[in-house]
Every structure is written in C-alpha cells, then in structure tokens.
Structure 1
Amino acid sequence: MATASWTRHHRAVLACWQDDYAGAAGLLEQACAAFRDGGPLDAAVECAVKLAVVHAYGGDAERAALLCREAEEVTGTHGESWLRGLALFAAALLARRSGDPRRAAAPARQAVRLMRPFQDWWDIAMCVEVIAWSSAGDPRRAARLLGVLHLLWESIGGTLSAAPFMREEHRRFEESVRAALSAADFARAFRSGAEATVDQALACVLDESAPVSGERAAGRGAPLTRREWQVADLVAEGLTNKQIAARLVIARRTAENHVERVLGKLGFTSRTQLAVWVRTRT
C-alpha cells in the first residue's frame, strides 16, 4: 500500500508541475486517504500539505485553508519543524493567490526559518519566491531578492528561475521589477543578492539587520524539541536513519531531516559527537 501511495504522490507532483491541478488533487486525495488509514503520520501530512498547494493554485481556497490549518496543528503537536515549514509555505501561497501579498510574506519567512537547519534549499527557494513577490513596492529590494533566488537555485545545481508551477508569475514579476529600475540599478541590486553568502542572502530574506552566523555557531546548546530528543537518544543507541524511522513510525526522509536538524542545532558534524553529548546528559 505504501509503495502505491508514494507512486500516486510522485505522479501528483508531476501533474502539478504540468499545471494539471485537478489530476494532482485526485492523486493526492487517494494518497492521503491511504496514508491516514495505515501509513506513517508524516507521510499523510506531507501529502496533505502538497494537496493544499494544489488547491491554492487550482482555485479551491477553502479546502486549501482547511488543510493548512490541520497540518499546522498536527506538526505543532508533534514538534515536526520541516513539515510545519511546508504547511506555512502552502499558507503563504494561499494568501498570495487570494490577493493579499503582504500577508503572504510572514508565513513564508517563518517557513524559511524552520527549513533552514535542514538546508532544504529547493523549498526555501520557493518561499523566497513568495517573499520576493511581496516586495514589488520596493524594486531595489525585489531585484536583490531575484539575485538571492538565482543564488539558491545555483546552490542546488538547478537551472530554474522558479519552480515550474510558479514560473509564469516569476516572469511577470521580474519584468515589472526590471521596468521599475534602470538597467544598471537592476544589475547592481541583483548582483548584491546573487554574489552574497548564503547567510547574507537569508539575512536579506528575513529582514535581519546583519548577516546571520552559521548554524553551527548559533545552534550550540539550543534546546531540542521532544521529537528531537527522541531522535538524539536513538542516534546514541547506534540506530541508523532507517531504524529510527521504523522505531518512530515515520518516513526515512523525515528521520534524516530530524538528525540533520539536531546536529545543526548543537553544532555537531557527526553522529558520534551527538551520541557522546547525549550520554553526558543521561
């Protein structure tokens, strides 16, 4: 059942990429139902969040909003940061599609903060896209954010200027920003984003006054959520990511994300360091 459900999920993502929102919605509804009946909770939530994105673009705003609220409640209860970030991205898209660009920026920024420790640059780039669209009233900042988007896509080896289903709006936005600035001003602002470090770029995205220090320096000693403590304990026991996923009844990718987030919070670079740290506190 799980294999068939993930197949539907992957087909739905492809359909969304091809602007077939009705087809994507049908496939994700089936996958969500199957995962809710017997699959891992995080898989059901991931499908529900992507279904919210599909409905936001497909026109069913009420259904999209309901799915976003449900996902935020579940992820809040279980301390799932990455999935909560995806839910906030969906909420940001919904606000944007509903004609409220300023309200879209806040959840998108919150999503970036949650996804950053996972280095999920693809989803972060999509959040930055929404934030950039919300800055149309400040063309120099908008041009700099277009440069940040270029930096992020390049960092993951992508050649896209935006996710396929966002590309047309990206094109219109970039044209409007170029029209509002001289060629030299646009190039200068774009270059300031494209040639920044990732920390500097995200500081711009998050409206921080100074570049943010690396996750390793900032994270040492940071408190862990209940779920992150569970994962840390299992790493200390010597379990692999696959075994952690089985023990906690979550998807392997979610387990991997949790491990990476815990390492980032504590400033560690290896599972051995984490295991030693856990044992000194038990």
Structure 2
Amino acid sequence: VCALAPARVNWEEDTTVAERMILPILYDIFEEPFEIEKVVASDKPFRHIQVSFRSAISFEVEYDIYSMSKDATLYSGDSHALFQLHPGLFAILLSDGMGQSKEAQHESRKLIHLMRECLNYNMNPETAMHTLHYVMSLKQQDDMYATLDFALVDLQHGDLWSWKAGGMSTYILRGKEVLKVESNAAPVGFLSISAVEAEKRKLKAGDVILMHSDGLFSSVDDWDEQEEVFLGYAQQVAGTTKTIQEKLTTIMQ
C-alpha cells in the first residue's frame, strides 16, 4: 500500500502516476508484474490517496516430464523444453523428429533450439513458427522433418495458447471433462510455408495439461480405443491428491 500526497485535485492523474512510476519499481524488486487493486481517498491525517497493489500473477504451474525411447533404443526422436519467457508467461516446447535415430534426435533438438532463440529475441510466436518452417525447408538432408508442439501458459489470466506443426492432440483434463486441442498443420520442414494458427483455451485452477508425441500409442492397435482407455485412466489419476510427479509416473507406467 502506497500513500501519495497529491499536488492537484485530480485523483485520476495521481493514479496514472502510480501506474507509471510505482508499478515498474515493484516489478524490479519482486521480479513479477503487479496491478492496482484499489484506490482510496483520505483526508486524515493529511489529504492523500492510498493505492493498494497486488501481484498480477493468479496461477502457478507444476509440471513433470516422462521420457522413454521406443524398445529401449539408444536414441529418441523427441526433445522438449519448459521455461519462463518472463514472470507470468510459461513456455512449453515439444518436438518429435522422424524415427528413433541420432539424426531424428538432432533434428528435434535443433528445432527446439531455434524456437528458443526466436522467443528470446521477442519474436511473435506466429512469425517464429513461419521462420522455422522456412529455415528448416532449406536444409540439405532429404525427407527429414520434425513436429513442433508449442504452448504458452498465461499465468496472469489463465489462458493456454497453442501452436502446432504436425503435433499430436493436447489434452486438458478438467474433472470429468476432457478438452482436446488439435491442428492439421504440416510438420516443420515439410513445407517452406505453412498456415499455423493459434488456438486459445481458458484454463481453470486444477486443470491438467497433457502434451505428448505419437510414441504414446501403439501404431498397431486401434488409435481411438487406445486414446479412450488412456484418457479414462488419466482422469482417474488426475483426480487424486497425488503430486503432479506421482500422477504422471502412475499414468505412464
């Protein structure tokens, strides 16, 4: 709570001063965004306004990663990265290279690295995705490409933004409800230009977000049946009081 003694009668101008001068200071001190919660005018013990601030971050993320190569092979084509772009914005990257070879792993890791570089330079997500499509289409290897599943979790407003380039469905488990985020966009490197549209979903406290590669399911058995069984079991486990680490391990095992 900050008390400001105004030099003028216009309270709105003083509120603007608080936004412009105090909010940046709070951001530097606590390394997270703040917002004005309320403004109260008072004449005691002197004429002033009291400005109350609160953190603008309403949510937090707990996560875990389960990684396993097919048939216990030495290399997996999957690569991932989870990190904060800045306080209040959490990024998730999942890439699946074609096959289980060292080249497939290299391809997915390169894609993750390039995407992080684009994001670190504050490039717009759509522009970054288009840039990756163009750059990867210029590579020398024949018939090598990788999928990219990119998500941003807005911890201030509780929004999930998703961009997919050949990625699998993302599942959002919410009690007895399952939300699916899908896309038909081509993998990165498959085409020099590809339409990549953002999918936005509103999140609620307690939602469980599952992002995965196609190695989750068998290519031999019926895909829809596997998905139904998997989601049914995942919902049961997600509804328990276990930690997110225990939940993920239990589901995957």
Is the TM-score greater than 0.5? no
Give TM-score, length-normalised by structure 1.
0.23
Greater C-alpha radius of gyration: 2
Greater strand content: 2
Give TM-score, length-normalised by structure 2.
0.25
